[in-house]
Amino acid sequence: MLTQKIVREKFKYINGQLYTVLASGKVAKNYLGQKASGLHRPKAHVDRVAYGLYRIIFLYHHGYMPNHIDHIDGDFMNNRIENLRECTNQQNQLNKKSKPNSSSQYKGVFWNKPRKRWTATGKFEGKKKHLGHFKVEEDAARAYDNYMKQFDSEFIYLNFP
């Protein structure tokens, strides 16, 4: 089982990065994180097991590794401890941006082909709500933001913060 003690013996944390600690006690100059193929998410290897770099950094600082860790700013390459927080799966989903393959650049918005309009939907605690159809994509995104603001959750990603 991976522990904080093991992590602190093997690594040194400096400004959001992990560095290997050599047998001499010095810090290796090379960055430990490796990019996973296709995903570009940094990994750290401990005893031949790959872990998300953010998970190792969280364990390094807090002494435990939760099931879900959220990147506050939504940038999974920003692994500074100040940007990491424990969360539930639902909270983690709320803080995600629009999917890259989505028809819209905005979260909660998609192109409705039959209506030839942008459609906005919001989802919170498993309940999905239709917010309307809009001629302008940004209007649909604002409708999503207005709906989600009522839930007052620090985890909600807004299109226009």
Residues 98-137 pLDDT 10s: 888 889 999 999 999 999 999 999 999 889 999 999 999 9
Alpha carbon separation from 161 to 38, 54, 61, 94, 124 (Å, rounded): 30, 25, 29, 14, 18
Average pLDDT over residues 135-143: 98
**What's the sign of the alpha-carbon dihedral 16, 97, 37, 44?**
positive
Q: How far is it, in rounded angstroms, from Cα 132 to Cα 109?
A: 10
Average pLDDT over residues 6-26: 84
Confirm if 93 and 155 have CB atoms less than 8 A apart.
no
Give the pLDDT confidence score for residue 54 in this predicted structure: 93
The model carries a pTM of: 0.81
Give the pLDDT confidence score for residue 37 in this predicted structure: 44
Mean pLDDT of the chain: 89
Q: How far is it, in rounded angstroms, from Cα 80 to Cα 54?
A: 8
